[in-house]
Amino acid sequence: MSLFLVTGGAGFIGSNIVEELLKRGERVRVLDNLSTGKRDNLAFVQGLQRPSASYEFMEGDIRHLDTCRRACHGIDYVLHQAALCSVPRSINDPLASNEVNVCGTLTVLMAAREAGVKRVVHASSSSVYGNSEVLPKAESQVPSPVSPYAVSKLAGECYCQVFTKVFDLETVILRYFNVFGPRQDPSSQYAAVVPRFIQRALDGKPLEIHGDGLQSRDFTYVSNVVDANLKAAEAPDASGHVINIACGQTSSVLQIADAIASTLGKKLEYHHTPARTGDVRDSLADISKAQQLLGYQAHVGVLDGLRNTVTCFQNLRARGG
């Protein structure tokens, strides 16, 4: 049985990865400083872990080398999800994004190398492609970041590739495309569009749409990303590669809003605001490389994912969460 370290494991994507690993009977260690992650995201652990020694939580910061060394001790695979994940946040505070996403990633890689970790799977972002008009986005395209967040993610990718080439540490880079699903925080000023829309819809408030709403994204339900991480940890030919993780289909922001309204059976009002600086206009992934190297398929489509997410938000609200 392998031992997995999930950095950022109390966050949205990280906690979903932890849940699936424990369901599979794997041993899991979580490292999270709880700056954006929440212990409540891991409330499921008590009911899932088997045996009792299969789960460990470490509160700590990925920017601290000694902390990462302790976290990586005895680890087989690192699933590196910890990051400050927001374009607007990075524009407001570029230094913080750099410290966490670049320096933190470098620190994790150093500790993983010292500990003899088999492989690091690094969470990157489709934002590195920038505003290229070429669709779909393929990994062979030259990156062209248009925000500090995108720059920080690209720098993390470069560090992973250098550690593979220079230090023989296996790494796989997954470029996520607009992930959504249960446990995604709708309350932050930097909240992603799907949880923000759902919360406002449940509150009976108009949905705030940046720009004309025709900007498109390859919205990806979180269980697809979880599956990609677990496949990437052990896929024999994946080391050293950058791989898109998405559904391979595109939806406009207005289409997502309409789908949420349809799911709730409500007529929702939309309020348009100015387009945000640093936002990419259109995004669509070529996922053929993921299919080839990982055997990846997007098993949950956008509409089913939205229905699942709306239901989870409704259930959470019914419980007073």
**Local mean pLDDT, 10-residue blocks, the chain (321 residues):** 96 97 95 96 81 83 98 98 93 97 98 98 96 93 96 98 98 97 84 91 93 94 98 98 97 96 92 85 95 98 97 87 60
Transcribe 212-277 into DSSP letters: TS--EE--EEHHHHHHHHHHHHH-TT-TT-EEEES-S--EEHHHHHHHHHHHHT----EEEEPPPT
Tokens 């925080």 locate to 185
Closest CA to 28 of 7, 49, 55: 55
Q: Which position among 77, 129, 149, 221 bears the catalytic label?
A: 149
pLDDT of residue 50: 61
Indicate the pTM of the whole model: 0.95
Clarify whether 149 is annotated catalytic: yes
Q: What's phi and psi for 237, nearest 5 deg?
A: -110, 15
- SS3 for 173? strand
CA distance 5 to 239: 18
The per-residue pLDDT for 1 is 82
**Token code pair at residue 18:** 């932890």
Domains and CATH numbers, the chain: 3-182+221-247+280-299 (3.40.50.720)
DSSP 25: T
pLDDT at 277: 82
